[in-house]
Chain A
């Protein structure tokens, strides 16, 4: 069975290619997939009848109870034959329905074949979850088929409507499936063989499953999607909305009925809603002028009828439900295919315009009449047999008061008679409207139909007759489904003649009433237009959608204020309200020390004062200086704490940041924008105070709560034993916690790249413009100078003293940075500190000599440097693997080098060199972007202004344009 599904999948996959090569001739080839499946199903018929069910088990996700189990029961055998048989015929029919020029063939062929496969999988699977998967696949494919013409807004809306309604039902069904699966089993056969007790949970699950089934089979209140889906090409309507997809819901009802027909609400949902739908659909079918829509409402009506009978849940009703399914699939697909032929040959589907078509299209008029008689339930067609059988089972209910008690059983049988009368009336309307020669209407010009085009309707129409005539022979094949039902007597065999019975009388009544309704159609139309439309599902659907949309707008408006401060405040308020409040109210405050030494208090007062002053000042640079003061203060606290590495790094970072701030802020307004009417200042400060207090409270409470030994307790020994270094902090960085450092330098690389991208926008700065390569207006005739770049600067910006000092200090700084790098393993220092010092040296060169001097000092791309650094760091991390070590393992190598003597080389130094390179690269990127980059933009703007104001302003020539 899985092979049959694979065959469909393969066909669907090849379909676009086939359609390209063969055009419409691809359809007969694709029809082979369902045809082969049909033949296979026929070949297992006797096994199914004998109860020797073909099964196949493929384990898929056993942990979740999802297995690709397939089996053919009588029910799935019937449905499978219809799905594959009608599917093959409809595909054949498509050959003449579409033209070779149709540009959508490749898509249509593929989706249609895939749909056929999904439908077959749905009726064959024995696992509820797999059934759900196929169920939703049919939904998606049907969406694609209804929206066949995406250029039309009606098509799009109809497709979306069908998708939303059936997916909604599908989701409800999924919940039901999961309830059943978790509490009982996902296996359908196990569920039917051993039904779980009808406790609340099971009943809820069954109701949810029914919601899915009813939405798929277009029962009230979900019925409106089906007529909308008529926007699809007619073969799609014939297949999906007659034989296949809408039958999925009926299949589910019929599948569950043996086990759950006794559940509360079951009969209300199936029989009640089903009969109501039958009446609503029939009533509205009588109003249609479009023969396709007429059939669509007729389908709604018939589906309601079948669900009601399938849901009744007696042995007799089970048999008649199967007979109804078969009869309906045959006559409805015949009629839809007929509509397609008429539409193509006569050019209209409006029954007011069609006249004299029957005579011209006799090859379809005959099978359509047969199908119509079957739909109306006229002897000796399939529809008559099944309707008789259905009335029979309802009459049995009336007599035995089981399963429906007295008033309801009467109501049900009256409903079916009334519905049948409507059916007779709209069938007559359809046949008359499509084929009759109407007085006063000019005969419709009709093209002759290709013989192949009418083949499928003819075959199906003949089948309507044969199934009716041969009905006594069919019963034994269908009975195995009925015997599973616990309620009711053994059903009578299907037959054309049971004698003069009450059901026969009722049947005659309904036909008579129906014919009167048709004869008095003008009167009926006047009555109908006077009655307001009571059940308008579509308007309710539109209203629900609008309500959901409005809800989304309101929710978004409330939660997404679009203001950064408000979002941040939200986070902070939660922080204060939960952990902050908990620490204050529930925490135990331990004993505290005043200080480790009084110096901390002195520095602390300065730091806090500076921090508070930042809030007050409105000048940018003042604020930057004050923040810098807190940073230097903190580095003093580090020294007082006994953390020299931290203090060095903090000092360096603080210095660099000051420079960077000044560089970046030089073009921004000197003062912050004033928002005089903003009430927010007070609450900002209040919230800030609350957050600060929370942090303080948490710090106190958490400190007092410490119980475990710190992980760093063993660091002093480990640092030397494994890291071969004496500076424990540095060894921690490059060895013990080197993974952290690797992550951190990656962040640095990303940040450096981000900074460069924000300033240069299009490309990273790779233009190197060295001062020495510029032809400059030389002031001293080419004699030696302290800094080459100095000559490129404006005179008022130059400082000879600064240039001299820079010249003297630059190389010393570089040497110091290298010293920090190499000594860092055993003394304060390391890659970070060293890199920062080297970066600072570059900053000094830039400040003294301008952007050309920077390129003179570092004539390479910063991106190259960070990349190289990352390469070295990662390489040194991975290198130990080559020698059988672990990642980031450190080894020490001792050897003697003549001038130095003993050399103690530690491999983690290489890692530190990588860090060093990345830090230098990042610093270079920062200076190049916020220094050089902004310089260049200023120069370009000034040059542009100069050109505007005075083209001959030669005095500005020293503002060299890059």
Chain B
């Protein structure tokens, strides 16, 4: 099948700028959405990015061609491998959508909104840092383990 290869290489060496631009648009919009606080928007962003990457696979799979079936001219068909990969990705993205939607619904059930809140524990640590405090596990006891019965405070009786 060496007849297929040079054609493939040659066509990928000249990427399809239209598809590249579609990828750029989808990924840019998707990323902007994914940075949102709303979990549904994050999910929509992920879907857009997924679609963009699917188009990216078309870019790197070279030029368009006939559907990849045995019996077609091997030099004229489109590259089948990226297609198999994208097919896998599409179905996974459906599972992701279902999962994140269930997550958003659950978040809404619990908090009344689908906005992801800041982590409360991290906020607490930031408050500690602002107030120049130590962590909660720090033992602030300054009392010595040994000097309690030295002459300086002589009226105490020794530890038993």
Contact of B23 among A224, A231, A525, A696 (CB under 8 A): A696
Q: Is the CB of A922 within 8 A of B95?
A: yes
The residue on A at minimum CB distance from B74 is A716
Q: A601-B18, A693-B28 are in contact. Are A642 and B93 (CB under 8 A)?
A: no
A675 to B117, CA, bound (A): 13
A421 to B47, CA, bound (A): 83
Instruction: Mark contacts of A642-674 with chain B using CB atoms, 8 A cut-off: 1 yes-contact digit, 0 otherwise.
Output: 111110011001001100110011011100110
CB neighbours (8 Å) of A709 from chain B are 2, 5, 8-9
User: What is the interface of chain A mostly: helix, strand, loop, or mixed?
Assistant: helix
Give, as a whole number of angstroms, the nearest-CB distance from A620 to chain B.
6
Give, as a whole number of angstroms, the nearest-CB distance from A659 to chain B.
11
Instruction: Mark contacts of B17-33 with chain A using CB atoms, 8 A cut-off: 1 yes-contact digit, 0 otherwise.
Output: 11111111111111111
Q: Is the CB of A720 within 8 A of B138?
A: no
A504 beta carbon closer than 8 Å to chain B: no
The residue on B at minimum CB distance from A703 is B15
A595 beta carbon closer than 8 Å to chain B: yes
Q: Is the CB of B44 within 8 A of A696?
A: no
The residue on A at minimum CB distance from B31 is A688
Give, as a whole number of angstroms, the nearest-CB distance from A610 to chain B.
9
Q: A546-B138, A922-B95 are in contact. Are A668 and B60 (CB under 8 A)?
A: no
CB neighbours (8 Å) of A826 from chain B are 69
Q: Is the CB of A624 within 8 A of B90?
A: no
A494 to B4, CA, bound (A): 95
Q: Is the CB of A157 within 8 A of B99?
A: no
Give, as a whole number of angstroms, the nearest-CB distance from B62 to chain A.
8
A776 to B157, CA, bound (A): 84
Q: Which of A258-317 contact B (CB under 8 A)?
A: 284, 287-290, 292-293, 296
Specify which of A558, A716, A926 lies most central, judged by the most chain B CB atoms within 10 Å of its CB. Answer: A716
Give, as a whole number of angstroms, the nearest-CB distance from A84 to chain B.
30
CB neighbours (8 Å) of B34 from chain A are 568
Q: Is the CB of B150 within 8 A of A288?
A: yes
Q: Is the CB of A748 within 8 A of B149?
A: no
Instruction: Mark contacts of A217-255 with chain B using CB atoms, 8 A cut-off: 1 yes-contact digit, 0 otherwise.
Output: 000000010011011000000000000000000000000
Q: A643-B78, A710-B5, A733-B87 are in contact. Are A529 and B125 (CB under 8 A)?
A: no
Contact of B92 among A157, A650, A733, A744 (CB under 8 A): A744
The residue on B at minimum CB distance from A611 is B29
Q: Is the CB of B128 within 8 A of A693?
A: no
Q: Is the CB of B134 within 8 A of A549?
A: yes
Specify which of B12, B67, B152 lies most central, judged by the most chain A CB atoms within 10 Å of its CB. Answer: B67
Q: Contact size class for A?
A: 35 or more
Q: A642-B66, A748-B92 are in contact. Are A664 and B101 (CB under 8 A)?
A: yes
Q: Is the CB of A591 within 8 A of B14?
A: yes
User: What is the interface of chain B mostly: helix, strand, loop, or mixed?
Assistant: helix
A714 to B33, CA, bound (A): 40
Q: Is the CB of B64 within 8 A of A641?
A: yes
Q: Is the CB of A716 within 8 A of B68?
A: yes
The residue on B at minimum CB distance from A673 is B115
The residue on B at minimum CB distance from A734 is B84
A154 beta carbon closer than 8 Å to chain B: yes
The residue on A at minimum CB distance from B108 is A668
Q: Is the CB of A758 within 8 A of B102?
A: yes
A677 beta carbon closer than 8 Å to chain B: no
Instruction: Mark contacts of B34-65 with chain A using CB atoms, 8 A cut-off: 1 yes-contact digit, 0 otherwise.
Output: 11111011001001100110111011110111
Instruction: Mark contacts of B94-136 with chain A using CB atoms, 8 A cut-off: 1 yes-contact digit, 0 otherwise.
Output: 1111110111111010000111101111110110111011110
Q: A557-B126, A685-B32, A728-B68 are in contact. Are A562 and B18 (CB under 8 A)?
A: no
A557 to B29, CA, bound (A): 31
Q: Is the CB of B32 within 8 A of A684?
A: yes
Q: A601-B18, A691-B27, A930-B101 are in contact. Are A703 and B60 (CB under 8 A)?
A: yes
CB neighbours (8 Å) of A879 from chain B are none
Q: A557-B129, A695-B24, A758-B105 are in contact. Are A710 and B8 (CB under 8 A)?
A: yes
Q: Is the CB of B150 within 8 A of A538?
A: no
Give, as a whole number of angstroms, the nearest-CB distance from B106 to chain A.
5
Q: Is the CB of B97 within 8 A of A661?
A: yes
A553 to B78, CA, bound (A): 56
A689 beta carbon closer than 8 Å to chain B: yes
A519 beta carbon closer than 8 Å to chain B: no
The residue on A at minimum CB distance from B64 is A596
Give, as a whole number of angstroms, the nearest-CB distance from B59 to chain A.
5
Q: Is the CB of B145 within 8 A of A228?
A: yes
A173 beta carbon closer than 8 Å to chain B: no
Q: A157-B141, A726-B71 are in contact. Are A714 and B98 (CB under 8 A)?
A: no
Give, as a whole number of angstroms, the nearest-CB distance from B143 to chain A.
8
A235 to B116, CA, bound (A): 58
**Which of A184-192, A627-635, A851-859 binds B?**
A627-635
Contact of B149 among A161, A350, A557, A687 (CB under 8 A): A350
CB neighbours (8 Å) of B29 from chain A are 608, 611-612, 614-615, 688, 692
A401 beta carbon closer than 8 Å to chain B: no
CB neighbours (8 Å) of B108 from chain A are 667-668
A230 to B120, CA, bound (A): 42
A752 beta carbon closer than 8 Å to chain B: yes
Q: A637-B19, A653-B91 are in contact. Are A553 and B56 (CB under 8 A)?
A: no
Q: Is the CB of B146 within 8 A of A293?
A: yes
Q: Is the CB of A604 within 8 A of B22?
A: yes
Contact of B102 among A563, A604, A754 (CB under 8 A): A754
Q: A595-B16, A741-B88 are in contact. Are A689 and B28 (CB under 8 A)?
A: yes
A934 beta carbon closer than 8 Å to chain B: yes
Contact of B158 among A348, A717, A736, A832 (CB under 8 A): A348
Give, as a whole number of angstroms, the nearest-CB distance from B85 to chain A.
8
Q: Is the CB of A716 within 8 A of B83?
A: no
Q: Is the CB of A699 within 8 A of B1?
A: no
CB neighbours (8 Å) of A657 from chain B are 47, 94, 97
Specify which of A594, A691, A713 lies most central, judged by the most chain B CB atoms within 10 Å of its CB. Answer: A713
A667 to B106, CA, bound (A): 11
A725 to B48, CA, bound (A): 33
Q: A554-B129, A641-B78, A934-B105 are in contact. Are A293 and B149 (CB under 8 A)?
A: yes
CB neighbours (8 Å) of A736 from chain B are 84
Question: What is the interface of chain B, defined by CB distance below 8 A to chain A?
Answer: 1-2, 4-5, 8-9, 12-38, 40-41, 44, 47-48, 51-52, 54-56, 58-61, 63-71, 74, 77-88, 90-99, 101-106, 108, 113-116, 118-123, 125-126, 128-130, 132-135, 138-147, 149-152, 154, 157-160
Could you name 8 residue pairs across A and B whose Cβ atoms are closer than 8 Å? Answer: A538-B145, A631-B47, A641-B78, A685-B32, A691-B31, A712-B82, A726-B70, A755-B99
Task: Please give me the 6 A-B residue pairs with the lowest Cβ-Cβ distance, nearest first.
Answer: A562-B122, A692-B28, A688-B32, A562-B119, A557-B129, A608-B25
